[in-house]
Amino acid sequence: MAMIINTNISALNAQRNLASTNTHMARTLEQLSSGLRINRAADDAAGLAISEKMRAQINGLQQGQRNAQDGVSMVQTAEGALNESHNILQRLRELTVQSGNTTLSSSDRTAIGEEMVALRSELDNIASRTRFNGQQLLDGSLAVTDAGTGTLNADTVVANGATVSVASIDVGDAEGGTTYTLANPSGANLTLSYTAGAMTRTETVAVNAMGANGTQAIAFANLGVTINLVHDANAGNVTGANIAAGLATDTIITAASSNASWRVGSEVGDDISLSFTDMRSSALGTGGSELDTLIADASAVSTTTKADALLQSIDAAIGQVSTFRAKLGARQNQLETAINSVGVSVENLSASESRIRDADIAQVSSQMVSRQIMQQAGVSVLAQANSAPQAVLKLISG
């Protein structure tokens, strides 16, 4: 073996290995200090891409969970206010029953009427005052209604000498300012769809046959639309296929006002919506005989005839408030279920993301000990390699 002093191959080799050991040592210390296995794309390019997608989904789900919690608070605010509205209606009913008694004088009826006017006024005040983050909940601002301009409103289906017509369209949980389109994909199936931006939502339900004086509610539960049909008195049977084909291509157009919607997930369409019904006296009672009309002044129960008419309207109003409170309770349960479900998803996704991105401290600690020993050994070997050429001096001095 030649003895060379200009180029120390052994020292170069030791230096290269020591540099590699130092690089690995630095990365090991970085993983220990950060707790992450992936600190940059170079550590694991594919793992980084996958974990970033998971992080985006986790962050979105966590925000969705907070959105749902806000929704619960919003619903509870409205439901709490309606509890007092119910109390007012119960008191109005009690006074109306009292007014049905002919033993009362005209002054007695006027006194009762004055209390009724005050109670009706407070009913409106509750609807106007009930707000959440500045949004009024009970005055109809967050209610979606049928604009009445869609082709479905006036459509009828004629078959076998009978007619099926549209009695009403309930869009309480639908999107405001939206056009829904019906289609008949096959047989007795009826499809409802709408497009918002780049997203199209579709739902298909089966339509039942109808006989004389029959009724049917075609409910598109996911889209928040219900079509109520009525069959005339003729005996002819109208099949589900007849109805689906007859309603195909019809449209439903909702008014521009929008309902409340809470995004409880991380993606478009992960929403829970609710139409907050108008709970003012002008919207409560029997059609054409709402409470604001019947209790316009102190003469509301000046006669037993007026008291009888008012009693029917109050009963209808109590039913309306009860129905909406039940709807609020159902939506609160749905939101709380969504909170729990999203929490489970966040937990599982976080575990998956952790397995990809987080460092195994026990493993990294073992690697650090090994690399510390290699580093110390490398320094020692490099020192010996650097001193090896000095052996040539013995040849020169001899």
Helix, strand or coil for residue 203?
A: strand
Kindly write down the DSSP assignment for every residue of 267-288, as one continuous string: STT-EEEE-----SGGGSEETT
Say which residue the tokens 């005040």 belong to.
125
Instruction: Indicate the pLDDT class of residue 239, thresholds 50, 70 and 90.
Output: very high
Q: For residues 85 and 67, give the distance between their C-alpha atoms in angstroms, rounded to a whole number.
A: 27
If one compares 167 and 8, the residue with the highest pLDDT of the two is 167
How confident is the prediction for the chain on average, in pLDDT? 90
pLDDT > 90 in the chain, percent: 59
Q: For residues 237 and 361, give the distance between their C-alpha atoms in angstroms, rounded to a whole number.
A: 74
Tell me, what's the pLDDT at 271?
84
Q: pLDDT tens digit string along 330-353? A: 999 999 999 999 999 999 999 999
Tell me, what's the pLDDT at 4?
75
* In the predicted structure, residue 269 carries a pLDDT above the cut 90: no
Q: pLDDT tens digit string along 97-143? A: 999 998 999 999 999 999 999 999 999 999 999 999 989 999 888 88
Instruction: Indicate the pLDDT class of residue 369, thresholds 50, 70 and 90.
Output: confident
Tell me, what's the pLDDT at 72?
96
Q: pLDDT tens digit string along 213-225? A: 999 999 998 888 9
> How many other CB atoms are found less than 10 A from the CB of residue 390?
9
User: What is the average pLDDT across 287-302?
Assistant: 90
Tell me, what's the pLDDT at 308?
93
User: What is the average pLDDT across 263-289?
Assistant: 86
Specify whether the CB–CB gap between 239 and 159 falls below 8 A. Answer: yes
Tell me, what's the pLDDT at 68?
95
Q: For residues 244 and 220, give the distance between their C-alpha atoms in angstroms, rounded to a whole number.
A: 14
Q: What is the pTM of this model?
A: 0.73
Specify whether the CB–CB gap between 292 and 309 falls below 8 A. Answer: no
Tell me, what's the pLDDT at 398?
58
If one compares 385 and 340, the residue with the highest pLDDT of the two is 340
Domain ranges of the chain: 101-139+281-319, 143-275
Tell me, what's the pLDDT at 301?
93
* In the predicted structure, residue 258 carries a pLDDT above the cut 80: no
pLDDT > 70 in the chain, percent: 99
Tell me, what's the pLDDT at 275?
83
User: What is the average pLDDT across 283-300?
Assistant: 89
Alpha helices in the chain (DSSP H): 9-34, 45-99, 106-129, 240-247, 291-294, 304-357, 361-387, 392-397
Q: For residues 301 and 217, give the distance between their C-alpha atoms in angstroms, rounded to a whole number.
A: 38
* In the predicted structure, residue 94 carries a pLDDT above the cut 80: yes
* In the predicted structure, residue 1 carries a pLDDT above the cut 60: no
* In the predicted structure, residue 5 carries a pLDDT above the cut 60: yes
* In the predicted structure, residue 396 carries a pLDDT above the cut 80: no
